Chains A and B, each alone.
Chain A
Amino acid sequence: MAQIVGGVITSHIPAIGNAITNKLQEDPYWKPLFDGYAKAREWMESVEPDIVVVVYNDHGLNFFLDKMPTFAIGAASEYHNADEGWGLATLHSFEGDIEFSWHLIEKMIPAGIDLTICQEMLIDHGFIVPMSVMWSHLPAWPVKAVPFAVNTVLMPVPTAQRCFDVGVELGKAIASYPEDKKVVIFGTGGMSHQLSGERAGFINKQFDRAYMDKIIDRPEELCRLTHTELIQQAGAEGIELIMWLVMRGALGKSVNVVHRNYELPISNTGSGIMVMEQA
C-alpha cells in the first residue's frame, strides 16, 4: 500500500526560483532562507519519496480567468513548465504517474470532492519553486509528481475548512493506493503578503508565526478563518495560506514537526517552511 511519509509546507515565491537560477544561495540576503531549507532536504533524502502531490495555485500559465477550477488535478505522464512572462527560467519537465493520479480521482470524486481533471497541465512557479528548493542540486527530479491546483486568485476561493476537508479525502485516497509507494504532500504558498493596492508590502509576522504554530495541533482554528479575516491579517495574496490546510488535512489528526523555519522579508513576503510526519 502507498504510505504518506510526510508533508512539507513552503512558500513558493518566484524570486526564490530566480535566486536558484542565479546561484545566489550564499548571498547574504538569501543565505538564511536557503540554510533554512537544508534540514528539509536532509529529511527528504532520508525518506526518499517516490511520488509528491503538490498543492499550489496557478498564476496564469495553465489557467486563465476564462475557466477557473476551484480544485484541479493532473492526470498526465508528463508536466511541462513554460514561459510565464514573469522573467523566470523555464525548467525541465516532471514525470507524472497516471495510474496514481486516476486512483486519486476515482476515490476523491465519489467522496464528494468535485475535481477538475487535467490530462494536460502546464506547471508554473507555484509548483516548481518548492521542487527546486528541494532538488535543484540534482541532475533530474528524483520523484514523480501530481499537480493539485487550488484557485486562490479569483474570489470566491474555497474556504479554509473546505481545503482541509479536501485534504482529508486526499489523504484517504493516497493511503488506499495498492502499490507500495512513499508519498510526500506539499502545501505551498503564502505566507503573509499583499502585492497590490495602497496596502502593498504588508507583512504580518505575528500572524505568520501563529499560523505555523496552530497548523501543528490546532488546524481547526485556522479552518474557521474567513476570507476577510485572512485578507485583513495576512494580506490579499496571503489567502494562499488556505492551501497549507489541504496538506494538513491529508496528514491526519496528529503530527510531529521535523523542521520549521521562517524568514522575512523574502521579496514582498513572510516565507515559511515546515516538515511534518504523521504522529
Chain B
Amino acid sequence: MVWAKHDYDDIPGTYVFDGRRSAMGYPINKMCMSFNHDENRQEFNANPRAYCEKFGLSEEQTQAVLDNDWLRIVQLGGNIYYLAKLGIAGGGGTVQSMGAQMTGMTVDDFKAKLFAYREE
C-alpha cells in the first residue's frame, strides 16, 4: 500500500492538507474541533496531556501539542484552520504568531515581512 505522489508535494515550506495528512492528523484535528465548546477548552487547559490521550494522539503528536511546536504539529497532520482553535484555547498563539514561529521569526519581524509585500 502506498500513498500517491502529487506535484504539490514538492512546493517548498508547504504542507498541502490531503488524505495522507488528514488520516495521520485526524486525532489532532478532532481534538481541535472540540474546542468550539468552552467546557472542552477548560478541560484541555486543566490537563493538556490527559486531553490529548482522550483523543488518541500519538506520543509524538502529544509532545508537539504540549510544546506548542506548530511546524511539527503541521508535519504530523494538523490543519491550520483547526489548529487556530488550539492556539486560542491553550493560549499558545494566534494564526499570526503560529506563522511567525513556523518561519523562525519574531511576530514583529513576521508582520514586517507581510508589510514588505506592499513595496513589490
Contacts and interface: CB of A to CB of B under 8 A. Distances in A.
A in complex with B: yes
Contact of A196 (B15, B117, B120): B15
B74 A60 contact: no
Interface residues of B, number: 51
Secondary structure call for the A interface: loop
Contacts, number: 132
Contacts of B30: 64-66
Given A60-B33, A60-B36, A236 B16 contact: yes
Given A86-B88, A264-B117, A65 B102 contact: no
Contacts of B103: 198-201
Contact of B102 (A59, A197, A270): A197
Interface residues of A, number: 38
Given A65-B26, A84-B36, A59 B14 contact: no
A114 B86 CA distance: 33
A199 B14 contact: yes
A264 B120 CA distance: 11
Contacts of A265: 111, 114-115, 117-118
B99 A200 contact: yes
Interface in B57-86: 70-71, 74, 79-85
Given A155-B17, A228-B8, A60 B82 contact: yes
Secondary structure call for the B interface: helix
A228 B11 contact: yes
A270 B120 CA distance: 13
Contact of B29 (A65, A194, A206): A65
B10 to A, nearest CB: 9
Contacts of A203: 114, 117
B114 to A, nearest CB: 4
Interface string B79-120: 111111100110000011011101110000011011101101
A59 B81 contact: yes
A112 interface: no
10 contacts: A60-B33, A65-B79, A154-B19, A154-B22, A195-B80, A198-B102, A203-B117, A228-B8, A236-B16, A268-B95
Interface of B: 6-8, 11-19, 22, 26, 29-30, 32-33, 35-38, 41, 70-71, 74, 79-85, 88-89, 95-96, 98-100, 102-104, 110-111, 113-115, 117-118, 120
